Amino acid sequence: MLDSCKLKSACNLPVIYNKKIHTAGTSNADVPLADPGMYQLDITLKRGQSLAARDRGGTSDPYVKFKIGGKEVFRSKIIHKNLNPVWEEKACLLVDHLREPLYIKVFDYDFGLQDDFMGSAFLDLTQLELNRPTDVTLTLKDPHYPDHDLGTILLSVILTPKEGEHRDVLFLFVVWNFELYMIPLVLLLLLTWNYFLIISGKDNRQRDTVVEDMLEDEEEEDDKDDKDSEKKGFINKIYAIQEVCISVQNILDEVLPLAKG
């Protein structure tokens, strides 16, 4: 078993330790990383401590971005005017291998302007133990100013290998990441889409027939197709859903300040 996780900041400096909850678990050190697998990474973004001030009043409006493989997979809510924010937000991520680290970037939200960078760090997923809750403290750094103290981010993570049908994994992902505020926006998008179909003269029924034919073709595909290609396609669909959720949240972040004003 691993006694500690080797966590690194974005500028290759070691970050603070992590503590593990004493639960039975299996190290993933024995997992053959050459053979990609499907993993579920459950993250609880707990809080930040002593974050950098980026506003004139000596405060910041921090939020956190999570990235894997260069793709943004989760964005936290904005905590206004707070250098010790408490998020307590949960995210369920699906990864097809452990070689890509989880990048964490913190920004100060500025309405109508470019958000200010507040620091970054990354978590090496290969050093996590499977099926074991782990508390992680990440030290934020700026690669351009490595000596600056930018505070810390506290996480709780659980890495679990996933087995079973992709439908089950997709259902779990939707349940973990769905928010009620997404319902009206999704309905609005559907109405807008149907409106453009009508004014463009396209027949919805014809489109439905095409979709049904595509589904039938998928059901008749050979089960012996390359599993790696199928897995990559599934992960890309997950990333697409995550990007939609992030886009919805970005729209709300822009609209809500206007409504309050």
Judge whether 20 and 134 are in contact, CB under 8 Å. yes
pLDDT at 177: 52
Same domain as 188, residue 152:
no
Same domain as 14, residue 143:
yes
pLDDT at 112: 83
Helix axes 166-177, 227-260, angle to 10 degrees: 10
Residue 65 CA to residue 261 CA, distance in Å, equals: 26
Same domain as 140, residue 35:
yes
Residue after which a domain boundary falls, among 164, 179, 194: 164
Give the CA distances from residue 79 to residues 76, 88, 109, 152, in Å, rounded to whole numbers and listed in that order: 9, 11, 9, 15
Residue 248 CA to residue 179 CA, distance in Å, equals: 10
3-state DSSP: the chain helix, strand, coil percent, rounded to 5? Answer: 35, 30, 40
Same domain as 176, residue 146:
no
pLDDT at 96: 80
In a domain, 3, yes or no: no
pLDDT at 30: 44
In a domain, 1, yes or no: no
Same domain as 138, residue 87:
yes
How many domains does the structure of the chain reveal? 2
Which of 244, 91, 85, 99 is closest to 151 using CA atoms? 85
pLDDT at 171: 52
Residue 235 CA to residue 37 CA, distance in Å, equals: 11
Same domain as 121, residue 90:
yes
Helix (H) or strand (E) holding 27, with range, is strand 26-27
Residue 51 CA to residue 82 CA, distance in Å, equals: 8
In a domain, 211, yes or no: yes
Same domain as 46, residue 114:
yes
Helix (H) or strand (E) holding 149, with range, is none
The tens place of each residue's pLDDT in the chain, 261 residues long, gives: 333 343 333 333 333 334 433 333 334 444 444 344 688 999 999 999 999 999 988 999 999 999 998 889 999 999 999 999 999 999 998 888 888 899 999 999 998 889 999 999 999 999 999 999 999 999 999 999 999 999 999 999 999 987 654 555 555 555 555 555 556 666 777 777 776 766 766 555 455 554 455 555 555 555 555 555 665 666 666 666 666 666 666 666 665 555 555
Residue after which a domain boundary falls, among 105, 132, 164: 164
Same domain as 113, residue 77:
yes
Q: Domain of 69?
A: 8-164
In a domain, 205, yes or no: yes
Burial label, 258 (beta-carbon count in 10 A; 0-12, 13-18, 19+): exposed
Which of 25, 252, 20, 250 is closest to 135 using CA atoms? 20
Same domain as 250, residue 152:
no
Beta bridge partners of 41: 93, 159
Residue after which a domain boundary falls, among 139, 164, 189: 164
Which of 112, 57, 107, 67 is closest to 85 using CA atoms? 107
